[in-house]
Amino acid sequence: MKVILQRYATPFITGLFLVSLISGVALFFHVGNGVFNEIHEWLSIVLILPFALHVWRIWWSMMHYLGRLPMTLALLVSTGAAVAMTWPGGEGRSGGPPQIAFSRQIIANTAGEIAPLLGQTSESLVETLKARGFAAAAPDMTLIEIATKSGKNESQLLRALLPEQP
């Protein structure tokens, strides 16, 4: 069994890393967010097991690297990049690509304010949202509040606002 685990750890790391790479790039460019988000999250969790087996297999080599500059530098740069990207106070951040920032600005308004832009009355927009699974819809609530209180995300909300496709 040990030989089988050792033999397959690196190939699984490679395969799962490639899937993570492709899904990460797709997420970065906001392509297929719903599908790629799940793929990226779950297969990254699955990646932990082959990674742990790989590290276990090459433990003595890892110990050799840990005390040297390349590994120390790589770990410090990686940690620094992660901290910098998650540091609070991103006032200079635009909220992503312009179309994402714009849609977030729009859904921060109430259903009553947005309805005329969609060629609807506030009542018809609320009814449409309710019919599409947004049970908490009300004319005086912001669209993002409606989505949150209905247990839905931004993508589902935006899809529900679009006219139904035949």
> CA distances (Å), 59 to each of 46, 83, 103, in order?
20, 27, 48
pLDDT at 134: 93
Q: Is the pLDDT of residue 92 over 50?
A: no
Do 7 and 50 lie in a common domain? yes
Q: With bands split at pLDDT 50, 70 and 90, how would you rate the model's confidence at 9? A: confident
Number of domains in the chain: 2
Residue 110 pairs in a beta bridge with 142
User: Residue 131: inside a domain, yes or no?
Assistant: yes
Backbone CA torsion sign across 79, 81, 82, 86: positive
Residue at 136 is within a domain: yes
Which domain range does residue 55 map to?
2-67
CA gap 35, 40 in Å, rounded: 9
Is residue 7 located within the same domain as residue 60? yes
pTM: 0.50
* pLDDT higher than 90, residue 77: yes
pLDDT at 91: 45
Side-chain-facing half-sphere of 152: CA atoms under 13 Å? 22
User: Which residue matches tokens 């097991």?
Assistant: 49
Q: Which of 67, 90, 124 is the last residue of a domain?
A: 67
pLDDT one-digit tens code per residue, 26-73:
888 888 767 888 899 999 999 999 999 888 888 888 898 888 899 999
d(CA 114, CA 111): 5
